[in-house]
Amino acid sequence: MNHSIEELLQQAAKAHTGSIQQASTIEAIVTLLIDTFRQGNKLLLFGNGGSAAQAQHLVAEFINRMLFDRAALPAIALNTDTSIMTCIANDCDYSHIFSRQLEALGQAGDVAWGLSTSGNSPNILLAMGTARKQGLATIGFTGSQGKKLASVVDHCLMVPHAVTPRIQEVHITVGHIICELVEKELFPK
């Protein structure tokens, strides 16, 4: 094996620990989502590949529950409807699969949250342009090379790592932290 198990775990720990420096960004995202849900607006999440799965996962946490039973929060994963995605990809171009959905579903006051480990995915970048035109707040989750995505969103978590699995591991950890903090603030015991 090129990397021992210990080395891979150390890489993961380093990526997580390095993300602590972005606590203020995470706090800003939590505040944005709390305000968004309080105002009756919704969250639209999206990504490609493993990031698509993470978008679905986080939507499930917002709609159902994170740590305790409570009212559902309005969130949609734009990468779950294969008929819409394949129609847009076939009739237009794959780079439009999220922007067309944001055009149809996004309203001023909503939040568009795109996950892209590279930060260079054309469909994520195009979607953020559409979101801004429609008055949505924008969040990006990316890795250390994701400067393109960071430059077109309001809030960006840039994991200090360039390897996709390590980036995705931090994305889901921070996503869970955000869900937990939003839930606790909106539904105090």
Q: What is the pLDDT of residues 158-168, one digit of tens each?
A: 999 999 999 99
The model scores a pTM over 0.75: yes
CATH architecture for segment(s) 5-186: 3-Layer(aba) Sandwich (3.40)
Q: Which amino acid is at 172?
A: I
* pLDDT class of 1 with cuts at 50, 70, 90: low
CA distances (Å), 184 to each of 15, 34, 48, 111, 155, in order? 26, 10, 29, 19, 21
Q: What does the alpha-carbon distance between residue 98 and residue 119 come to, in Å, rounded to a whole number? A: 15
Residue 102 has pLDDT above 70, yes or no: yes
Residue 2 has pLDDT above 80, yes or no: no
Domain ranges of the chain: 5-186
